[in-house]
Chain A
Amino acid sequence: MWVIVEEVRKSIRILLAYPAEVIFWVFSPLLWVIPLVFQGKALVGAFSSTQFGNLAGTDDFIPYVLIGAIISTYMFSAVWSMGNSFRDETYYGTLEHILSSPARPAYILIGKGLYNSILSTSFVIVQLLICVFIFGLEITLIKILPIFMFLLLLIVGLYGIGFMAAALTLLVKEAHGLLHMFEYILFLFSPIRYPVEVNPITKTISVFIPLTYALIALRGLLLNIEFNFLKNSVILFGIDCVLIPLGLIVFHYVEKRTKTRGTLSDY
């Protein structure tokens, strides 16, 4: 467990050594949100639309999109950070020293994922404050616990995907393009920015994407849209049970393959 704590601590220390990165993390939530607001207003002419409500279950376009943006922040930061983490270690020249230690790579990756979840959470808190104070989103204390439960169910599953993303980077070294493609596919087929009901194909495919269930649940809780609490939590839990062992198996397989081929520290 100490490995995980020290991994988080190390990553934060390295981040703090780059002041420009810290400035990014302080201001970017705000800069990220404002264009979405203007985009919504330009398209719909207001912050709400009956046409939109028929598909999404809520007339309020802006909070709908902002919640999608918030959840996808977790999704992409987990996949990106865990995916690129070992590439960063190769750049530092420390990868082989980490992997020749008795610490299990999964713990190191969880530490890297946790560090990123902490950053994402600070990002998301700023975004939520914008939602609450500017767009009147209501978050009552009674909603906090289920919100955290769904976020936790989402994050655990994301770590499984993160293990696979890390494996992919070990294998192909430069995985930026593939991770971007993964990101765009999710934007297309899950209800991050728009209700997938707008098109029968996106609606069908969205059923197979875990992010969909987290988005339905969290929007349901935050925007008072009716949803099946039990069904969505059971599906997310089931997905976690598959993704975590699958991610570990894939990572273990790829680590062994790179050690056999001698490409572990290739950049």
Chain B
Amino acid sequence: MVGSGEIVVDGIHKVFKKGKPDEVRAVDGISFTINKGELFGLLGPNGAGKTTLIKCISTLLIPDSGSVKVGGYDIYREPLDVRRHIGVLTGGERSLYWKLNPVENLRYFAALYGVPRKITKERIEYLLDLMGLTDKTRVRVEKLSSGMKQKLSLARVLIHDPPILLVDEPTLGLDPYFARFIRDFVKNELNRKLNKTILLTTHYMDEADDLCERIAFMNRGKIEALDTPERLKQSMPQKQVLEIKCQGTLEREMFSSIEGAASINISHGDGFAYLRLNTDNPEIILGNIIELVRENAKIYSVRVTVPTLEDVFVHLTGASLKDG
């Protein structure tokens, strides 16, 4: 048993295409507890099983085995009670009726969640005001920007004022301004001010690091580590990271012969390749590394920094958060 908490997941399994050659163990014996008022993160690459787990907790998917309790209610025996106590927010834009306006959307979802008619109107006004959408009340959703749609999706999730929120990749596809708004809102308004219990899944390391009190690393359906972001970073055997920003082609195998370099992570972004090596002695390996990189790429910068959650994830799983 995992103990008591607002969300208690105990040994759940979910296998798709069971017994077939392309069988997928999407969730493979996961257990954890989320306490009341906690902002808990599930961090893992695409395909790690995060969304499957969220679907199991929100009663959209029936696990093969194990138990899940949400707000004290069992997902198998009391699914309607579970649904009354949760709000599910997903990334992407298609969770609203695009041909309806924000008020019509919220009124419909209020009815689905059994919000009394007499308080629905004031609840809608409050939420649209909170999201800064009061001037868009009669505009069809299809005319709103992606960020505004996600704000409205947040309002939809909050229409019945649930104590527990399941937030799945909430900033996916959003521009930096709206992504920042959503992150701030989740942390400051929902978690700190309204004391909501939040399970957030993301494959953005910064998002998990910035928002979550505790983080579970999820990879291939399993939880690889679970702790506070600080403790996870402190758990790294090597306390420094050598980072090289360059343009060109880098392969992990190129650096496998370097002694003193632990896990190696190569990622790409903004037209650059980023090589990160965990090490205790960056000054000793630096010369060899630069030589190897120069064979295939043009170096733009070199710096020594501290491990991030991504480095911990690579160290533990051998996979990158950007994999999948």
Contact = CB atoms under 8 A, between A and B. Distances in A.
Interface of A: 2-3, 5-7, 9-10, 13-14, 17-18, 92-94, 96-103, 108, 256, 259-262, 264
Tell me the dominant secondary structure on chain A's binding face: helix
A262 B62 CA distance: 8
A266 B93 CA distance: 17
A262 B24 CA distance: 12
Nearest to A10: B108
Contacts of B58: 100
Interface string B89-126: 01011111111100010011101111001000000000
Interface of B: 14, 16, 26, 52, 55, 58-62, 80-81, 83-84, 86, 88, 90, 92-100, 104, 107-109, 111-114, 117, 140, 156
Contacts of A6: 107-108, 111-112
Given A101-B109, A101-B112, A10 B97 contact: yes
22 contacts: A2-B114, A3-B112, A5-B111, A6-B107, A6-B112, A10-B108, A13-B99, A14-B97, A18-B99, A94-B97, A96-B55, A97-B95, A99-B60, A100-B58, A100-B59, A100-B60, A102-B83, A102-B112, A103-B112, A262-B14, A262-B26, A262-B52
A102 B104 contact: no
A52 B139 CA distance: 57
B47 to A, nearest CB: 14
A100 B97 CA distance: 16
A96 B97 contact: no
A96 B60 contact: yes
Given A6-B107, A97-B95, A108-B112, 18 more contacts: A3-B112, A9-B108, A10-B97, A10-B100, A13-B104, A14-B97, A92-B97, A92-B98, A98-B112, A99-B60, A100-B60, A100-B86, A101-B109, A256-B62, A259-B60, A260-B61, A260-B62, A262-B55
B111 A259 contact: no
B52 A102 contact: no
